Amino acid sequence: MIIYLFFNQKSMLYFPDKTDFLNCKNFSEEEKKSYENNLKMNYNKTNFYEIKWEKNNVIIFFHWNAGRACDRIKILENLKKTWNTIILVEYFWYADKENSPDIIQILQNVDIIWNYIKDKEKWPMKKKRFDKVYVMWRSLGTWPASYFAWKFETDKLLLISAYDELYKVAGSKYPIFPVKYLFTQNYNSKKYLNNYKNDFLLIHWKKDKVIPYKHWLDLFNSLENKNKKMISLENINHHNIFSEKIEEKIVEYFR
């Protein structure tokens, strides 16, 4: 069983849709973007959807571990109410039939998106394209969003259904196994958020069975950030989070 967990952890963690990125009817052809940079990376191109809006701010959204960015229509409709430009990042191999996602590749998605924002050739008159940069994530997206906030200028950060370290979440599912030493895909949000001092909102629910209450609370309590706030909800589960109340809080935070 231990050998099985070690060699199959990616298939137990990532559930990509695999539909071709361009084959998405929810966005116009102009909104489907690919950005390639000259960084020395294994993969130097990231796909994303960019919806331009009135304010010169941007919300960068990192999605969870299932599906693809194309499917995030409900959250997109709510983010539009903030009047900010929206970028929905597609992870490497989440819209690709041949390959599987990986922790290193997802970090490179983050680096490439930032380089797109501050590309001096594209935006020669500005240090970066947008006045304010906001970052939002849910579930698996906690870590890439935390990494972004640690490495790059981030004015507001919103995390939904967050965790401290992913191996601890996995360990709660498989308590008899030494998950810490087997886990190659350990997303450590606590590490990257330690020095983040700008506005930070965490939304979670006490009865979440996928990411238990303890993990987001440990993350929140570990952060020395005077601008941190949390909203803890009852009677909502991991897969049914976008109630009217949550949607209002998200719009209010980014407006």
Identify the pLDDT of residue 138. 73
pLDDT band per the 50, 70, 90 thresholds, residue 85: very high
**Which residue reads 């390959």 in tokens?**
99
Mean pLDDT of 155-168: 84
In this prediction, residue 236 carries a pLDDT of 62
CATH architecture of 2-254: 3-Layer(aba) Sandwich (3.40)
Per-residue pLDDT, 184: 74
CA 243 to CA 85: how far, in whole Å?
23
Most confident of 22-31, 57-66, 85-94: 22-31
Give CA torsion, residues 55, 57, 62, 63, to 10 deg.
-10
Please report which confidence band the pLDDT of residue 157 belongs to, taking 50, 70 and 90 as the band edges: very high
Domain ranges, ordered by start, for the chain: 2-254
pLDDT score recorded for residue 124: 60
The larger pLDDT score, comparing residue 118 to residue 58, is at 58
Supply the pLDDT for residue 211: 78
Q: What pLDDT does residue 249 have?
A: 87
- Tens digits of residue pLDDT in 53-78: 889 999 999 887 767 888 888 888 88
The C-alpha R_g of the chain, in whole angstroms, comes to 18
Nearest to 48 by CA among 37, 35, 29, 64: 35
Burial letters for 126-157: b for 16+ Cβ neighbours within 10 Å, e otherwise? eebebeebbbbbbbbbbbbbbbbbbebebebb
Calpha distance 91→145 (Å, rounded): 12
The model carries a pTM of 0.84
pLDDT greater than 70 at residue 4: no
> What CA–CA distance (Å, rounded) separates 41 from 167?
26
Q: CA 221 → CA 17, 28, 147, 228, distances in Å? A: 35, 42, 18, 10
- Mean pLDDT for the chain overall: 80
